[in-house]
């Protein structure tokens, strides 16, 4: 893929503007597979993503409790997972009709255990506490179209890794935003819910979570040249950040008839402002996942054949493909602060791509077909605390090692003195023995001399 000089200059400036600390911070992803095992993948930094590898695994292998949806925790105040309020939390919807909120460090379940939602969850999003509310929120949607909101009390001033979370209590129930749902998502500010499914009455809708009122209801696309109007089939949905002037105003939708659509909720027409086909017509298939960059200029759409297309939303033309996936791509995860996007595929690989160049910069093998992936971005406070703890641990080990070395030197010194004393003692004993031998020789000589004199006298 070639770039003009102006485009290269823009990319270089973008890289220069990226904070050095963000580029050097350890990169961490959480992936879930079809047998329910969670895998943590790490790389030393964004500059060394070629070293991406699995470093730990959690959970037991049980297909009945496999994870079907995974979402990184979102901060309730700023609407960004990089803030410390919900950094390191993950909401996992499972095949046994439950949802878990897990800690990204230990894998432990928060809030007193699993939350029963009554049917297969298609969306689960957790929001951390804020200055306005001391409770964390868990928003779920099931395939039956039922939505629920749970709340759990926790300390808003404590860091995420040291926060005690109370039990989840249902605060909103019996809310049915749609007849049936295939996909759903929540805006980053936690105020709007978008749902979509298959069949009449299940086209894209958005609701106000606080009042449960309908905000937007999409109309069907115009008839084709045969006069045929395809029934709704929303197979992927995601709010597009950074476009339209606020959260929850623009939405990306992927369909079962291989289309990528962009909806502007402020338009009176209620129809998509962009409707493009993804992939080649003869190989086109269902769009499985979509996501958009934070500047609102690029969207990514992944299909069931493993093709991932990068679409320029300004020109409505493809600007490249994310190559390398050989199985259906189940999830796309955009990094909150860096120009990186991760893919989870049935070919058992997690791949990380550069958003600007569409090139693969890192990949990790996970041994099992994957269902989803999410970035674990530690907040500044959590990262600082972890770094301080690591430094203290390192200093403690160094002090202990220096103490052991000093003790060994002292012991060696004592041993050397003892050896010298023993040698001196042996030398003295030898000298005494030599003196005794000399005395004995003299006595023998005198005795022989006296015996000789006596013989001569006789």
List pLDDT tens digits, range 412-430.
Answer: 555 555 555 545 555 555 5
**Closest-CA residue to 65 (of 110, 104, 116, 112):** 116
pLDDT for the residue numbered 145: 93
pLDDT for the residue numbered 403: 74
Tell me 162's DSSP state. Answer: G
Please tell me which residue, 456 or 296, carries the higher pLDDT value: 296
Whole-model pTM? 0.76
Gap between the Cα atoms of 60 and 413, Å rounded: 54
Percentage of the chain surpassing pLDDT 70?
73
pLDDT for the residue numbered 75: 67
Please tell me which residue, 383 or 146, carries the higher pLDDT value: 146
pLDDT for the residue numbered 58: 87
CB 183 within 8 A of CB 202: no
Compute how many other C-beta atoms are within 10 angstroms of the C-beta atom of residue 118: 13
Burial 138-176 (b: 16+ CB within 10 A, else e): bbbbbbebbbbbbbbbbebeebbbebebeebeeeeeeee
Main-chain dihedrals φ then ψ at residue 207, nearest 5 degrees: -130, 150
Average pLDDT, the chain: 81
Give the pLDDT confidence of 211-253 residue by residue, as tens digits: 999 999 999 888 888 888 889 999 999 998 765 445 668 999 9
Q: Which single residue is written with the structure tokens 């909150």?
A: 336
Please tell me which residue, 27 or 164, carries the higher pLDDT value: 27
pLDDT band at 5 (very low <50, low <70, confident <90, very high): very low
Give the pLDDT confidence of 38-47 residue by residue, as tens digits: 999 999 988 9
Say yes or no to pLDDT of 180 above 60. Answer: yes
Rg (CA), the chain: 36
CA atoms within 13 A on the CB side of 45: 8
* Torsion angle defined by CA atoms of residues 208, 213, 215 and 218, in that order, rounded to the nearest 10 degrees: 120
**Closest-CA residue to 186 (of 228, 231, 97, 126):** 126
State in words which class domain 17-378 has. mainly beta
pLDDT for the residue numbered 339: 94
What sign results for the dihedral spanned by CA atoms 80, 85, 89, 91? Answer: negative
Q: List, in sequence order, the alpha helices (H) in 285-368.
A: none
CB 32 within 8 A of CB 370: yes
Compute how many other C-beta atoms are within 10 angstroms of the C-beta atom of residue 397: 10
Q: Where are the domains of the chain?
A: 17-378
Contacting residues for 205 by C-beta, under 8 A, at least 6 apart: 177, 178, 194, 195, 196, 214, 216, 217, 218
pLDDT for the residue numbered 81: 43
Question: Which tokens hold the place of 424?
Answer: 């001196």
Distances (CA, A) of 440 to 223, 264, 437, 443: 132, 120, 5, 5
pLDDT for the residue numbered 70: 93
pLDDT band at 164 (very low <50, low <70, confident <90, very high): confident
Q: Mapping DSSP to helix (H, G, I), strand (E, B) and coil, where does residue 292 land?
A: strand
Give the pLDDT confidence of 65-99 residue by residue, as tens digits: 999 999 988 765 544 443 434 557 899 999 999 99
**Closest-CA residue to 286 (of 260, 263, 311):** 260
Compute how many other C-beta atoms are within 10 angstroms of the C-beta atom of residue 220: 13
Gap between the Cα atoms of 412 and 416, Å rounded: 6
Long-range contacts (CB closer than 8 Å, 24 or more residues apart) made by 160-166 = 160/84, 160/85, 160/86, 160/87, 160/88, 160/89, 160/128, 160/379, 160/382, 161/88, 161/103, 161/105, 161/382, 161/385, 161/386, 165/101, 165/110, 165/111, 165/112, 165/136, 166/111, 166/112
């Amino acid at each position: 893929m070639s770039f003009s000089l102006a485009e290269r200059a823009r990319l270089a400036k973008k890289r220069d503007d990226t904070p050095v600390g963000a580029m050097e911070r350890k990169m961490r992803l959480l992936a879930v597979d079809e047998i329910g095992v969670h895998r943590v993948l790490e790389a030393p930094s964004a500059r060394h993503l070629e070293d991406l590898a699995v470093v730990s695994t959690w959970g037991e292998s049980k297909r009945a409790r496999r994870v079907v949806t995974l979402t990184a925790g979102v901060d309730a105040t700023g609407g960004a997972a990089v803030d410390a309020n919900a950094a390191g939390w993950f909401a996992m919807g499972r095949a046994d009709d439950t949802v878990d909120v897990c800690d990204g460090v230990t894998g432990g379940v928060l809030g007193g255990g699993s939350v029963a939602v009554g049917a297969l969850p298609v969306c689960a999003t957790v929001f951390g506490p804020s200055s306005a509310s001391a409770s964390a929120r868990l928003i779920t949607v099931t395939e039956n179209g039922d939505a629920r909101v749970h709340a759990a009390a926790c300390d808003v001033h404590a860091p995420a890794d040291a926060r005690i979370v109370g039990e989840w209590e249902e605060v909103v129930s019996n809310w049915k935003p749609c007849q049936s749902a295939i996909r759903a998502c929540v805006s980053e500010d936690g105020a709007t819910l978008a749902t979509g499914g298959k069949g009449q009455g299940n086209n894209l809708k958005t609701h106000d979570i606080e009042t449960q009122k309908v905000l937007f209801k999409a109309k069907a696309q115009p008839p084709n040249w045969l006069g045929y109007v395809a029934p709704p089939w929303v197979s992927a949905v995601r709010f597009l950040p950074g476009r339209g002037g606020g959260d929850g105003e623009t939405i990306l939708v992927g369909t079962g008839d291989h289309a990528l659509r962009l909806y502007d909720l402020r338009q009176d027409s209620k129809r998509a402002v962009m409707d493009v086909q993804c992939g080649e017509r003869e190989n086109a298939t269902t769009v499985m996942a979509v996501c958009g960059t934070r500047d609102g200029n690029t969207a990514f759409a992944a299909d069931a054949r493993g093709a991932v297309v990068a679409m320029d939303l300004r020109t409505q033309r493809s600007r490249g493909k994310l190559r390398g996936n050989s199985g259906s791509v189940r999830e796309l995860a955009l990094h909150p602060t860096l120009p990186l996007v991760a893919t989870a595929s049935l070919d058992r690989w997690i791949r990380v791509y550069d958003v600007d160049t569409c090139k693969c910069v890192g990949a990790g093998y996970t041994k099992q077909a994957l269902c989803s992936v999410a970035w674990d971005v530690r907040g500044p406070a959590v990262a600082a605390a972890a770094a301080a703890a690591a430094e203290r641990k390192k200093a403690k080990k160094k002090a202990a090692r220096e103490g052991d070395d000093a003790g060994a030197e002292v012991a060696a010194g004592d041993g050397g003195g003892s050896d010298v004393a023993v040698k001196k003692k042996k030398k003295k004993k030898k000298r005494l023995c030599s003196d005794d031998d000399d005395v004995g020789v003299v006595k023998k000589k005198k005795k022989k001399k006296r015996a000789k004199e006596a013989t001569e006298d006789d």
